[in-house]
Amino acid sequence: MIQAPIHSDTTQEIGNDVDLAAVSFDVDGQQILHDITFKTNAARVGIVGRNGSGKSTLARILAGLITPTSGVVRVNGHNLAKDRRAALAEVGILFQNPDHQIIFPTVIEELSFGLTQTGQSDPDAAGMAQETLNQFNKSHWRDANISTLSQGQKHLVCLMSVVAMAPKLLILDEPFAGLDIPTKTQLNRYLSHYSGSLLHITHDPADLQSYDHLIWLDQGAVQETGPCDQLLKSYQEKMNLIGGQDDISDLSD
Amino acid sequence: MISLTSPIRTRAHSWPAGLKLAGLCLSTVVLFFIKDLTAQVAIATVVATLYALPGRAFLAAGWRHLRGFWFFVLIVAIYHTAVGEIYEGAVILLRLLSAIALANLVTMTTKLTDMIKVVRFLAKPLTIFGLSSKILELSIALVIRLTPVLVEKGSLLSQSWRARSRRKTSWRIILPFTILALDDADYVAEALKARGGFTLLKEN
């Protein structure tokens, strides 16, 4: 059986080694990410930046879903773009839109799928999926049809599906954008119980208040890295400053 | 197929899906050889009785599922009245309705997972040609999962059209809808890759 990925006490969260060296990513000659270098093993890592700063691309590179044009990415020493089998144990990724993530029509099938992919037999996978539902007190969701769930509930299904696979690092790509305050608070509470480490990507400083290490991305490059308080303050100031200007007029080349 | 569910659990739910599908196959073939109106009326009555057996709620659900075919019934009826073949028209209509009703009956009383097991069994010979039954199953699940999503997207697109137009939604939304669907497919492919993709699927 997997180790319980959700815990209620205050167990120390474990960090993972995330190591990027001179990572760049181009699409059709246009540079999306430029010479990204950082190293961290904090348990709660946040990446902030404006829309279009390359945050989502970086999330996909970290998860090994796309290969950087140049540079080296290592998560706990693994090259996840090449080693997909290791990738499943190392990282899980939560996308912004649940309809882009949920593959199966019912909750139990969706949770079981990732587990069978890690080599579990069908009955074992179903058992472990049920176990995850129980941990979240959602055993009554088992046979629910995805199309009947609310948007917030779909987000929770995505979270449970990834948590069931117990990855060491959970990457969140603006996971709760557009949700109302109570739903967001409830989902954040589930997240805060996750015993693996988190890498949370967002444009909203409010999401990252209690995070250990932050990386600020601007126009595809690292603007600043550092502890939460200091970095969020300068980020907020800069965002307010730009907010007073009119760079929305600028068209990209 | 997505909405073809039964409001209650019937005795037929526990029958083997393969047997039900084989029975459906056979009865549909037999239906096509019967050209006598009295026999067709008798068969239609038997089918209606089958729907009535599990109770009123089931009969009502069955009727709702069948009602969607009124347009085809109308066209066949108009055609046969126009060419003056009332008797043949009645036979064809009853045959059509009995066949559809029987097919719906099987779908309503069979769980999707059981249906997929039959597909897996039937597709087994194809594995020598390299077709993975796991991929086939995944495709079926994807269609069922994403059809409501696409229907929703289509209706949103048509609402955006109507919000800025006095005319009805036209065929011109087909292209943006296609692009939308392809874009969605890209995202789902990525989500699939994030959880192992087809490579690990084949190994299992």
For B61-115, the pLDDT digits (tens) are 889 888 888 889 999 999 999 999 999 999 999 999 999 999 999 988 887 778 8
* Separation of alpha carbons A208 and A229, rounded Å: 10
Q: Do B184 and A99 touch (CB under 8 A)?
A: yes
pLDDT at position B79 is 94
Q: Do A84 and B112 touch (CB under 8 A)?
A: no
What's the pTM?
A: 0.75
* In chain A, where the domains are located: 18-243
pLDDT at position B130 is 81
ipTM summary value:
0.71
What does each C-alpha distance from A99 to A95, A136, A149, A173, B188 come to in angstroms? 9, 21, 11, 14, 8
Contact between A41 and A199 (Cβ < 8 Å): no
Name the nearest CA neighbour of A61 among A22, A97, A100: A22
Return the residue in B3, B135, B195 with the most chain A beta carbons within 10 A, the one to mutate for interface testing. B195
Q: How many CB pairs under 8 A join A and B?
A: 67
Q: Which fold has domain A18-243?
A: Rossmann fold (3.40.50)
Q: Spell out which residues of chain B touch residue A119, defining contact as CB-CB under 8 Å.
A: 200, 204
* In chain B, where the domains are located: 1-110, 112-204
Edge-to-edge strands, sheet with A30-40:
A30-40, A18-27, A70-75
* A65 → closest Cβ in B2, B148, B194: B194
pLDDT below 70 — which residues of chain A?
1-13, 253
Q: Do B148 and A147 touch (CB under 8 A)?
A: yes
Q: Do B201 and A102 touch (CB under 8 A)?
A: no
pLDDT at position B92 is 94
Token duo for residue A87: 């990738």
Q: What is the pLDDT of residues A92-148, one digit of tens each?
A: 999 888 988 888 888 998 999 889 888 888 899 999 999 999 999 999 999 888 888
pLDDT at position B145 is 83
pLDDT at position A8 is 43
What are the phi and psi torsion angles at A178 (to 5°)? Answer: 85, 0
Q: Residues B177, B182, B186, B188: is their CA dihedral positive or negative?
A: positive
Token duo for residue B18: 């393969």
CB of A105 within 8 Å of a chain B CB? The answer is yes
What does each C-alpha distance from A3 to A47, A206, B177, B197 come to in angstroms? 28, 31, 44, 24
Q: Spell out which residues of chain A touch residue B142, defining contact as CB-CB under 8 Å.
A: 103
Give SS3 for B182. helix
pLDDT at position A118 is 85
How far does A158 lie from chain B, in Å, by closest CA?
A: 10
Q: Do A117 and B196 touch (CB under 8 A)?
A: yes
* Separation of alpha carbons A85 and B199, rounded Å: 9
Give SS3 for A197. strand
Q: Do A103 and B196 touch (CB under 8 A)?
A: no
